[in-house]
Amino acid sequence: MKCTKCGIREAKMEIHVRNNNHVEKMYLCADCAKDYKPEVNLESFDMLNKLINGSPMGLLSNLNNMFAEPSTRALICPTCKTTSEEFMKTGFVGCPRCYEVFEPLIVQTVKKLQQSDRHVGKTPLGVLDTASEEARLKSELQAAIDNGDYSKIGELGERLKKLVGNKREGN
Amino acid sequence: MDGVNSTIISTRLRLARNIDGLPFPHKLAEIPARQITDQVERALSPVDKFTRYDVSDISRLDGTILQEKHLISPDLLQDSPFGAALISADENVSIMVNEEDHIREQVILSGLSLDQAYDRVNRIDDVLSKNLNFAYDRRFGYLTSCTTNLGTGMRASVMMFLPALTIENMIDACITDVGRLNMTVRGVYGEGSKADGYLYQVSNQRTLGLKESDILDSVKSAINHIVDAELRARQLLKRDEAELKDKIYRAWGIVTNAYKLSTGEAMQYLAMIRLGGYYGYFDISDLDKLQRLLSECQPASMQKLGGNSMSVDERDVLRAKYVAATLGAICAKKDK
């Protein structure tokens, strides 16, 4: 296969760069790959596997199999330029956006570290606590049903449906 | 002195927070980092009067003293060039800025005060959250630079005095037990040896997938377990009471008569006197003061007290005088 960038030389590696929800797949020759920082090459994947096995945190070893999947290879955060390699080596991400970019890796890591990948604690002021809101709407809906307030039943039903739908999307 | 008072020194509640849209401190440039400190300082003004210490401006001595008092972390001083701390007048609240995360809100209270410390830090967090846009994700919770703090960003720690478990070589088994409850135990000044005053920090490991109240409950369970184990070990320690009394009274003899006292010696002997208070060999009128004496004995604090540049020997002489005078005011030996 020819390099997708220069179209001349043979592609030697595949890289995936995630931008928002879009993943761009590129097949690059060794020369064109040098334009991407940090340099990504096939050896670096082997090195990364070694890093995972020998992680100082001792908790990332189960990522071997996942890392073999192309979609998680050589991700770079477009905001802070942190690479998946850097994250795997240190356990640190560079900015809030990294959590979107490295989500599959992070989910695997935190499941192992924290025995969960879902927050159930406090929400910042101004952020809707969906569980409390759902309970409140359900109780208002029940009251509307008891009172036979049909216009309110419809309105509350719609709001509840929307909230539950959003929650599923969020999941 | 009851079992809990004799084993628990203080409680620390910490929440890690970051500002949305900005790189975390290890990737952050100087200007936005300083702006965060300014924003946090402004946002805190309705809460209390805070003193600001910028790492770039503070003297090495003053920085080390804050570290010896456990108000800031060693990492803030060593690895955070644009870091700062905002500390309340009563020194119960310390907000570190641009350490590992943009904001580390901490409340430190004496004794076992997990609920009170959480209430206070939570109120501060609400005030900050009204003025600052925290990085938050519905799935992962509060976003932090390291995934070990993700979710609640909460670390609830209790500083414990565990001489009997250490002397009886039972501490490792106890650490393994509470490890099963997802707690970590580490030495406060080092590895919890006698020269470190037998002080340990017990804190939650998990920050994600649990409510804040669940974390507090799990720390309380672990603390209860450790307190019971320490008190049982103190009974074992008393099986040869003459030997125990001799060690404790010798500690008193040295600490009240020595001409020179190193930091390690002071930590070791003060720990024995505290233990003596538990067994009723001493009347200790002010346990908090006895605890403060441990941080006051540290090298930088002693250097500050001396008022000028002192050699190690001069510091040891001053420490001996200071410890003897302070102990004389708060501690009396009972008749044998």
Greatest alpha-carbon span in chain B: 66
Q: For the ranges A66-70, A83-87, A95-99, B208-212, which has the lowest average pLDDT?
A: A66-70
Residues 6 or more apart whose CB falls under 8 angstroms from that of A22 comprise none
The token pair at B56 is 């770039």
Residue A142 has pLDDT above 80, yes or no: yes
State residue B33's pLDDT score: 97
CA dist B211 and A121 (Å) reads 4
Residues 6 or more apart whose CB falls under 8 angstroms from that of B110 comprise B9, B10, B11, B288, B291
CA dist B277 and B104 (Å) reads 35
Does residue B83 contact residue B61 with C-beta atoms inside 8 Å?
no
B residues 113-132 near A, CB within 8 Å?
122, 125-126, 129-130
pLDDT digits (tens, 9 = 90+) for B305-336: 988 788 999 999 999 999 999 999 999 988 76
Q: At A60, is the pLDDT very low, low, confident or very high (cuts 50, 70, 90)?
A: very low
Q: What is the separation of C-alpha B280 from the centre of its chain, rounded to a whole number of angstroms?
A: 26
**Count of Cβ atoms closer than 10 Å to residue B122 Cβ:** 17
Phi then psi for residue B314, to 5 deg, are: -65, -40
Task: Tell whether B80 is within 8 A of chain A (Cβ).
Answer: no
Q: At A155, is the pLDDT very low, low, confident or very high (cuts 50, 70, 90)?
A: confident
State residue A49's pLDDT score: 42
Does residue B98 contact residue B28 with C-beta atoms inside 8 Å?
yes
State residue A62's pLDDT score: 39
Distance between A157 CA and the closest CA of chain B, angstroms: 23
State residue B96's pLDDT score: 98
State residue A65's pLDDT score: 40
Does residue A35 contact residue A28 with C-beta atoms inside 8 Å?
no
Q: For the ranges A2-11, A149-158, B119-128, which has the lowest average pLDDT?
A: A2-11
DSSP, collapsed to helix, strand or coil, labels residue B154 as strand
Q: Which residues of B touch A80 (CB under 8 A)?
A: 23-24, 27
- Of A161, A164, A143, the residue nearest A152 (C-alpha): A143
Phi then psi for residue B158, to 5 deg, are: -125, 130
Residue with tokens 């310390």: B94
* pTM for the full predicted model: 0.77
CB contact under 8 A, B206 and A116: yes
pLDDT digits (tens, 9 = 90+) for A39-55: 333 344 344 444 344 44
State residue A7's pLDDT score: 67
Q: At A129, is the pLDDT very low, low, confident or very high (cuts 50, 70, 90)?
A: low
Q: For the ranges A139-153, B58-72, B285-299, which has the lowest average pLDDT?
A: A139-153
Residue B77 has pLDDT above 50, yes or no: yes
How many helices (H) and strands (E) are present in chain B, helices listed first? Answer: 13, 12
pLDDT digits (tens, 9 = 90+) for B149-173: 999 999 999 999 999 999 999 999 9
State residue B5's pLDDT score: 81
CA dist B237 and B223 (Å) reads 21
Does residue A63 contact residue A72 with C-beta atoms inside 8 Å?
no
Q: Where are the domains of chain B?
A: 240-333
Residue with the larger pLDDT of the pair B77 and A57: B77
State residue A165's pLDDT score: 66
Distance between B120 CA and the closest CA of chain A, angstroms: 15
High-pLDDT (> 90) share of chain B, %:
86
Burial of B241 (0-12, 13-18, 19+ CB in 10 A): exposed
Task: Tell whether A118 is within 8 A of chain B (Cβ).
Answer: yes
High-pLDDT (> 70) share of chain A, %:
60
The token pair at B229 is 């184990």
CA dist B159 and B84 (Å) reads 24
How many helices (H) and strands (E) are present in chain A, helices listed first? Answer: 8, 2
CA angle at B127 for the pair B82 and B69, rounded to the nearest 5°: 50
Residue A61 has pLDDT above 50, yes or no: no
> How many A-B residue pairs are in contact by the CB < 8 A criterion?
106
Interhelix angle B263-279/B241-257, rounded to 10 degrees, is 130
Q: At B4, is the pLDDT very low, low, confident or very high (cuts 50, 70, 90)?
A: confident
CB contact under 8 A, A94 and B154: no
Q: For the ranges A64-73, A104-113, B13-22, B266-275, which has the lowest average pLDDT?
A: A64-73
High-pLDDT (> 90) share of chain A, %:
25
Per the prediction, chain A carries an average pLDDT of 72
Task: Outline where chain A has alpha helix (H).
Answer: 30-33, 42-53, 64-67, 84-90, 98-101, 103-114, 130-147, 150-170
The token pair at A7 is 């179209």
Average confidence (pLDDT) over B225-251:
95
pLDDT digits (tens, 9 = 90+) for B50-59: 999 999 999 9
Distance between A106 CA and the closest CA of chain B, angstroms: 8
Interface test with A, best of B123, B138, B207, B218 (most A CBs within 10 A): B138
State residue A53's pLDDT score: 42
Interface test with B, best of A59, A114, A116, A133 (most B CBs within 10 A): A114
Average confidence (pLDDT) over B234-238:
95
